[in-house]
Structure 1
Amino acid sequence: MYRRLFYLTLAFGTVVYAIQACNSSGSQVGEERIPDQISYNFHVRPILSDKCFACHGPDANKREAGLRLDIAEEAYKALKENPSAHALVPFKPEASEVFLRISSTDSALMMPPKSSNLKLSAHEISLIEEWIKQGAKYERHWAFTAPAAPVVPKVKTEDWAKNEIDHFILAKLEEKGVKPNPEADKERLLKRLSLDLTGLPPGIEMMDKFLADRSSNAYGKAVESLLQSSAYGEKMALHWLDVARYADSHGYQDDNYRSQWPWRDWVIHAFNKNMPYDQFITWQLAGDLMPDATKEQLLATGFNRNHKITEEGGVIDEEYRVEYVTDRTNAFGKALLGVTLECAHCHDHKYDPFSQKEYYQVFAFFNNVKEVGLESSVGGPETYAKKPLMQISNEDVKKILSFVNKQDTGKLIVSVMGDRDTVRKTYILDRGVYDAHGTEVEAGTPKSVLPFGSKYAKNRLGLSKWLFDKQNPLTSRVFVNQVWQEFFGRGIVKTSGDFGMQGELPSHPELLDWLAIDFMNHGWNIKRLVKQIVSSATYRQSAVVSAEKLRTDPENILLARAPRYRIPAESVRDVVLASSGLLVKTIGGPSVKPYQPAGLWEAATSGRGILANYKQDHGQALYRRGMYTFIKRTVPPPTMSIFDASNRDQCEVKRLNTNTPLQALVMMNDPTVLEASRVLAAKLLQENTAVEAKMIKAFRLIVCRNPNEKEIKLLSSYYADQLKVFQQKSAAEKVLAVGEYPIPEKIDKRSLAAMMEVMTTIYNLEETITKT
């Protein structure tokens, strides 16, 4: 591996650099000033939340001096320790202890105290002073207030806007005196669109058709075509697999096999048939409780059984049963409400208005499942799913579950939801300890979000109806924000898993509310939302960044250009396989085990069960899409982990996006990349075309655009150089000995090795795996 890295670095490093030299990216905002009108939500609360609420916020157990600053009535009251003083006196900062303490230089008086290692900046102190002068008016947290339909703003450059999204974006750009980028060229735009809607690069036929179409609706036709592709459901499902913590093993030390993949097939199917979001979620939360529930609705509830499950003897049954309920509760809060509900598991939330009691009220919805902490130890097929479960027969696949890719006649079981006949009691758990029962509670929801009320049944079906009540301020906002994040790399609320007090403020709050209301008012139609986003001029901009825009807005918060970032781990694999012609496009089915360094599983296993040893697959299974790669929680796929894929231990609504040398190691040495390079090289050599034509075709297949003359010359010259390197047949054979796909019998191996190195070079271009 390291020999090859050294060789490739020397051999084509200069070529890669030369081709990538023109690529750059970037983003921030100018000097701070005091706004004319101070908003508690957007200016003051973030400061108090960061610097004050830990000691003077919602958590009664940690509250100091009896002072609470997150509620107006409490903040205006006389101080417990000094009845003649008040924390806040509207219009009078000089009489407000909050201002006097934060502006004091006396270490005995100043707040926050030195021991906290927290300090307010001069700008923050001035904001609070001005807020008090303006009346110290509190506002309900923006995310806990039902969105109101904002007026679509008028803009000066109306001809730039394609739809309402652009009016909101352009209004802020014009306010800041910034001009948006022009539309991206057709080649880059099609690549971006294809990767975003299908996770796959466009083929040459699609590129030629799009480039040749001079009609005004050429882009719209491309959007429609990609939305109808079955690969759309796979791409949309990928994010949801992270949210649902889907994996192919139970987790914990034994980490045995789990047969949950039919649920994944259902998710792909649901996206492809454009199931409305309210139905999509309701079936997953409570499909088993619906009247005359079908097997499809029951299968959907696998969402709530994707959590880790132990098979280790000696564990305390109730401790782990409570752990499973806790996981479901936390996932519900993060995935569907976009809040850190889990912070109230052991005590009242320190920053958000969620009490520990309210946490366990939500917990109660998920506490009635007919499950145990330890059902069985590692064993045969009967342990691949845990009760409650459902069996999928061949007859089911023929009649009801036709989307399930069942490939054999064996027994297929899936973990699903199913409640007990009698309601299990739920208690507040002291410090979250499984057997430290406190006050008994009934099912309910945080009042600060939306009181549960009496119109809903106190079960998961009632919870689903509460979730999709149009007065619920979070459900629609959270989902449209996650979808936005999938296309722009950053949500309108950057902290997509935390809309609470500690979360980031929305960059475009009016746009977020407009999208949320529009989504609800149009039947929770996901494809319609996606089409709105990709049809906007905002999305279609060039990703080229000027020095000025890089300086003033490095994070591209204003969206004056298209974002530029690396595609997801699974798509990195998909691009390599698709461009080389190796990709097997079969939808669904069991997960597969592609090439992996030897010994990883064996070094991290208990030695029990069928996953004790890694048994690599062969044939077509080696060339499935990245989303079908087998995920063993204790040893997730190393190549994809290096590219920031989730290990699926818990609900994850946003992945990290790093850029490390290990990623270069993968692209230079991974057997799949090298095999794809060899296979594509063989195909090109078997075509009766000139070297330059082969370079152009390879570049188009991999990078998805026509190379310029300099790039063609560099690659052709590199090929000629590599022919000299591989004059010895033995050297060529050594490089070609990778992967299981057969080498054509009569091909010249020296030419093949040389061309393979060129293909590997193109795969190692930053542009290849970057969305621009």
Structure 2
Amino acid sequence: MKNTAVVLSIFMVLFIVAMALNSCSNENANKEIKIPDQVSYNFHIRPILSDNCFACHGPDANKREAGLRLDTEAGAYAALKENPDQHAIVPGSTNKSQVIKRIFSEDASEKMPPPESNLTITDFERNLIKKWVEQGGVYEKHWAFEPPIKKTIPIPDNDEWSHNPIDGFIFAKMEEKGLTPSPKAEEGYLLKRLSLDLTGLPPTSEEVRLFNSGQKSWEEMIDHYLNKPAYGEKLALLWLDISRYADSFGYQNDNIRTQWPYRDWVIHAFNKNIPYDKFLTWQFAGDLLPEPNREQLLATAFNRNHKVTEEEGVIHEEYRMEYVLDKTNTFSKVILGMTMECAQCHDHKYDPISQKDYYNLYAFFNNTPEKGFEGGAGSAVRAKTPLMWIDTEDTEGILDFINHPDTNKVAVSIMQDLQDSVRPTFILDRGLYDAPKGEPLSPNTPDIIKPFSQELPKNRLGLVKWAFAEDHPLTSRVFVNLIWQEIFGVGLVPSSGDFGMQGKLPTHPELLDWLAVEFRESGWDIKKLIKLIVSSSTYQQSSAVSKEMLAIDPDNTYLSRFPRLRLHAELIRDMVLASSGLLVPELGGPSVKPYQPEGLWEASSSGRGELNIYRQDKGDKLYRRGIYTFIKLTLPPPSLLIFDGSNRDICQVNRNRTNTPLQALAMLNDPLVLEASRVLAEKLVANYKDEKSAIDEAFVRILGRLPKSEEEKLLKAFYVEELSRFQEDPDIAVNTLMVGDSPAAKMEEIRTAALMQVIVAIYNLEETLTKT
């Protein structure tokens, strides 16, 4: 666009203003850290040992050096193999503890970690370990392997800010760190935040009016958004990343598959608020329930969303094993929050998970009749056996939530176990499909997490029942953490996919455990959990930041302000469609192919059959929500990847957030953004005779609030500038408006083109793409 420089100049002015407001000094960042009075193994010592020592002196027996194991009390206290009269750790005695001698040594031949390892223990960490040994060197079971306990909610004397139990824990931690809560966010920012979090869409002008006028309370708006069909679509985005949902099989001969009825079920399940225990049970083991119905069978498609090869000449058993590995790794990540895949080839180097533990878990998923290779690309059936067919009769009955646009049957891959036999499972040497070793294994779970009860069936249904036992340490913690991450950007455990010893420690352990127990005691009620979080004062804080806050807590770990978070890729698309009025709010159905750069698919040799050529959809299909965008595994949609969308080839529990020039270029030039700006401009020109009212309405639609006087002046000046440019050359105005497939309205072309440019500028504001 020829006016890109003008638009960019507006962004630069706004950026400079923002930088001036947010500039601060980090003069306090490097203050000396005080060693705590009481040193904890879990929260102080284990992270140091895990980062620097466990690779050679940890759980992996094959890599353990000098016979020394520092991850267990017995190993650390035992006599050294090479010097039986010495011990790595002697509780209470730093002089007799060889660990202390080695980490303080300057002799390269005995210093630990050794110089060649490129690992370093800081002076602070050395003194922390020394004090821990002086205090008795007490080991503790890893915090994540202990069942959560509901501790007493802190109620500080000076706390007039808290609204619910979450705030008590957050306020207590703030007070401990010398922080105070931020004031409540302005109503416009607050409503936009809530609408985006619960529906993934900006608030409508009517919702803004009702809330700002006081006709609808905060609690009423929460219930309003939780009951919208869009709520299920928003939460389903998280789950589709987890369930590795895509619309093609993946691998080189990549062709279309029809798992989309499973996506319809996920949206339906969240909107119906199916309890989390039932939600997961149906997905992992719905086929093993007594007399399972069609909905429960459809839910098991979760297990079959992994990549499937259609390449001729592959080794059947090799790929069948890959599919079982994927199911095992997905279970461990979504329920246990553990990196158990590290134990596929050897004992886990950091967590007490052996290779045998891994293949015991693998055995639960190793009894399916699916094949490694079923047929080459081009099959008319878009699913692999075991599968279920969905027809019109289903969609008029128990599967009435499926949006099936025609009368053709749809095939979906589902889960099933062998009926007349049990496939034996072995440890695979170095994880190789053709190298089984040892005796056959039985399905089992790692004792370090929770022993598997002998009363449970040794199948996937028993495995899920084990996961939802009242004293299970991880299941509720992991999901509560995912929901917290979805709202605040970072989980209470920042490493949401790793609750193990290499993972990050919880920032608010007591709050995490309180929420985990509360969630379980509520009957695994997901909507209740979300309502509890967004009802808190913590959630309703302003995102404005002061120099003092940044100096004490630059990463906002202790939540003395609300974080500013760039929207997920799909939600950027949704925001543009919804605010412009282009959005087609149809729920569910097959995936759609929106605008995409010409020739991109054709330049890739990965597509076969229907995926060899990109056939862009027309009409209403162009304006569906981002969740319905067709995902080809070998070439995911560029419009989503530019904004860090998931490529869906493995289970993913969090997304990156990057800032690149491509993102700015996309927002300035994407046909959808330009078309939405043109369509909104047409509507506003038709409905408003004065530019001020039109710009104000565009601002409210996109940002959820009225512009401030300075913003209004800047946008009005830009409008006048663009109006003058188009008046001088009307052909430019006509060409500017020729964008997008939606029909153009009869309009004042020059006025509409000028307003369109203002709307493009608003869409490109940092606040537009950010939840503040």
Distance (Å, rounded) in 2 between the aligned partners of 1:607 and 1:564: 39
Instruction: Name the structure 2 match of 1:503.
Output: 503
Structure 2 letter corresponding to 1:408: D
> 2-side partners of 1:8 and 1:257: how far apart?
41
Q: Which residue is equivalent to 1:53?
A: 54
Is 1:668 the equivalent of 2:668?
A: yes
Which residue identity lines up with residue 167 of structure 1 in the other structure?
Answer: G
SS in 2 for 1:95: coil
User: Following superposition of structure 1 onto structure 2, how do residues 117-156 of structure 1 map, counting pairs within 5 Å?
Assistant: 117-156=118-157
Determine which of 408, 411, 417 is the counterpart of 1:410: 408
- The Cα shift of 1:249 comes to 0.5
Partner Cα distance (2:15, 2:580) in 1: 21
Distance 2:35 2:129 in 1: 10
Aligned to 1:357: 356
TM-score by length of 1: 0.97
CA contact (8 A) 1:296 1:401 kept: yes
**Are positions 1:13 and 2:8 aligned together?**
yes
Corresponding residue SS for 2:160: helix
Q: Give yes or no for the alignment of 1:294 onto 2:318.
A: no
2:246: which partner in 1? 247
CA distance in 2, matches of 1:686, 1:770: 29
Q: Is the 8 A contact 2:606 2:634 kept in 1?
A: no
Question: What is the alpha-carbon distance in structure 1 between the residues aligned to residue 63 and residue 606 of structure 2?
Answer: 42
Q: How many percent of aligned residue pairs carry the same amino acid?
A: 56
- Structure 2 match to 1:96: 97
* 8 A Cα contact 1:233 1:269, kept in partner: yes
**Which string of whole-angstrom CA distances, capped at 9 and with x for unpartnered residues, describes residues 142-166 of structure 1?**
0001112211112133321110000
1:593 Cα offset (Å)? 0.2
**2:748 aligned residue:** 748
Give the match for residue 184 of structure 1. 185
CA distance in 1, matches of 2:17, 2:263: 40
Inter-partner Cα distance in structure 2 for 1:308 and 1:170: 45
Going from structure 1 to structure 2, the CA distance change for 1:607 and 1:584 (only over 3 Å counts) comes to closer
Q: Which residue of 1 aligns with 2:485?
A: 485
Pairing 1:460-471 to 2, within 5 Å after superposition: 460-471=460-471
Of stretches 78-87 and 24-33 in structure 1, the one that deviates more from structure 2 is 24-33
- Provide, for residues 569-611 of structure 1, a one-character-per-residue CA deviation record: whole Å limited to 9, x for no partner: 1110000000000000001000000000011111122453110
Distance in 2 separating the partners of 1:242 and 1:117 = 35
Q: C-alpha distance in 1, partners of 2:30/2:463?
A: 42
In the alignment, residue 529 of structure 1 is paired with which amino acid?
A: L
Measured against aligned partners, the alpha-carbon deviations of 1:430-458 in whole angstroms (never above 9, x if no partner) come to 00000100122110011110011201100
The alpha-carbon deviation at position 550 of structure 1 amounts to: 1.1
Which amino acid letter does the alignment assign opposite residue 105 of structure 1? E
Match in the other structure for 1:195: 196
Residues 66-107 of structure 1 deviation map (CA, whole Å, 9 limit, x = unaligned): 000001011101100111110000001111011100110000
Shift of 1:496: 0.2
1:385-534 matches, within 5 Å, as 385-421=383-419, 422-439=421-438, 440-534=440-534
Query: Which residue in the other structure is 2:258 paired with?
Result: 259
* 2:679 is aligned with 1:679: yes
Mapped to 2, the partners of 1:523 and 1:379 lie a distance apart of 45
| Contact 1:702-1:763 within 8 A present in 2 as well | yes
**Cross-structure match for 1:641:** 641
How far apart, CA to CA, are the structure 1 residues paired with 2:501 and 2:607?
46
Alpha-carbon shift at residue 61 of structure 1 (Å): 0.4
Residue pair 1:353, 1:448 contacting (<8 A) in 2 also: yes
Amino acid at match of 1:234: E
Q: How many angstroms apart in 1 are the aligned matches of 2:31 and 2:618? A: 56
Distance 1:633 1:738 in 2: 29
User: Counterpart of 2:762 in structure 1: which amino acid?
Assistant: I
Distance 1:312 1:656, change over 3 A: same
Q: Structure 1 residues 664 and 125, CA, compared in 2 at 3 Å: closer, same or farther?
A: same
Q: Distance in 1 between matches of 2:290 and 2:55?
A: 46
Counterpart Cα distance in 2 of 1:431 and 1:78:
31
Query: In the TM superposition, what whole-angstrom CA distance separates every residue of 1:150-205 from its partner, at most 9, and x where no partner exists?
Result: 11112133321110000000011112221100110111000000000000000100
Gaps of 5+ in 2: none
Residue in 1 aligned with 2:312?
Answer: 313
Cα 1:607–1:263 shift into 2, 3 Å: closer
Compute the displacement of 1:748 (Å).
Answer: 2.5
Q: CA deviation at 1:475?
A: 0.3
Q: Could you tell me whether the CA contact under 8 Å between 2:601 and 2:613 is conserved in 1?
A: yes
Query: Runs of 5+ in structure 1 lacking a partner?
Result: none
Q: CA deviation at 1:370?
A: 1.1
**Structure 2: which amino acid aligns with 1:691?**
E
2-structure distance, mates of 1:49, 1:720? 62
- Is the contact between residue 166 and residue 538 of structure 1 (CA under 8 Å) also seen in structure 2? yes
Higher alpha-carbon deviation: 733-742 or 608-617: 733-742
In structure 2, what is the equivalent of residue 276 of structure 1? 275
Are residues 1:629 and 2:629 paired? yes
Residue by residue, what CA displacement relative to the aligned partner does 1:693-723 show, whole Å, maximum 9, x if unpaired?
Answer: 1111111111111101221121111111112
- CA offsets 1:360-383 (integer angstroms, 9 cap, x no match): 01100111111000001111431x
Whole-angstrom CA distance in 2 between matches of 1:503 and 1:8: 48
CA contact (8 A) 2:91 2:136 kept: yes
- Letter matched to residue 519 of structure 1: F
Task: Judge conservation of contact 1:8–1:668 (CA < 8 Å) in 2.
Answer: no
Q: Deviations over 1:263-296 (max 9, x none)?
A: 0000000000100000000000000000010000
Q: In structure 2, how many angstroms separate the alpha carbons of the residues matched to 1:118 and 1:17?
A: 42
Asked whether the equivalents of residues 307 and 324 of structure 1 are also in contact (C-alpha less than 8 Å), the reply is yes
- Superposition CA RMSD, Å: 1.3
Aligned to 1:333: 332
Q: Is the 8 A contact 1:29 1:553 kept in 2?
A: no
How many residues align structurally? 763
Return the letter of the residue paired with 2:268: H
Task: Measure how far apart 1:121 and its partner are.
Answer: 0.3
Take 1:157 and 1:761, find their aligned partners in 2: how far apart are those partners? 45
Amino acid at match of 1:404: I
* TM-score (normalised: structure 2): 0.97
User: Are the counterparts in 2 of residues 30 and 552 from structure 1 also a CA contact under 8 Å?
Assistant: no
Q: Report if the CA contact (8 A) 2:601-2:607 is conserved.
A: no
Give distance in 2, aligned partners of 1:23 and 1:199.
25
Q: Does the CA-based 8 Å contact 1:173-1:179 persist in structure 2? A: yes
For residues 57 and 766 of structure 1, the distance between their equivalents in structure 2, rounded to whole angstroms, comes to 46
Q: Does the 8 A contact of 1:16 with 1:762 survive in 2?
A: no
The 2-side partners of 1:368 and 1:236 are apart by: 31
Distance in 1 separating the partners of 2:201 and 2:148: 36
- In 2, the alpha carbon distance for the partners of 1:160 and 1:461 equals 45
Deviation at 1:21, TM superposition (A): 5.0
The residue that corresponds to 1:766 in the other structure is: 766
CA distance in 1, matches of 2:253, 2:704: 44
Mapped partners of 2:461, 2:315: distance in 1: 30
The answer (yes or no) to whether the contact 2:254–2:607 under 8 Å persists in 1 is no
Q: Answer yes or no: is the 8 Å Cα contact 2:466–2:472 preserved in 1.
A: yes
Q: Deviations over 1:728-761 (max 9, x none)?
A: 232222222211011113x122222222111101
**Matched residue SS, 2:745:** coil
Residue 86 of structure 2 aligns to a residue whose secondary structure is strand
CA contact (8 A) 2:677 2:756 kept: yes
Residues 704, 627 of structure 1: alpha-carbon distance in 2 compared, 3 angstrom cutoff: same
Kept in 2: contact 1:191–1:202 (CA 8 A): yes
Evaluate the alpha carbon distance shift between residue 237 and residue 602 of structure 1 in structure 2; reply closer, same or farther with a 3 A threshold. Answer: same
Displacement of 1:687 after TM fit?
1.5
Q: Describe how 1:17-56 pairs up with structure 2 within 5 A.
A: 17-19=12-14, 22-23=17-18, 31-56=32-57
1:516-555, aligned counterparts within 5 Å? Answer: 516-555=516-555
Residue identity opposite 2:457 in structure 1: A
CA shift digits 1:280-334 (9 cap, x unpaired): 0000000000001000000000100000000000110100000000001011111
How big is the shift at 1:724? 2.1
Q: Is the 8 A contact 2:159 2:171 kept in 1?
A: no
Give the AA of the match of 1:448: I
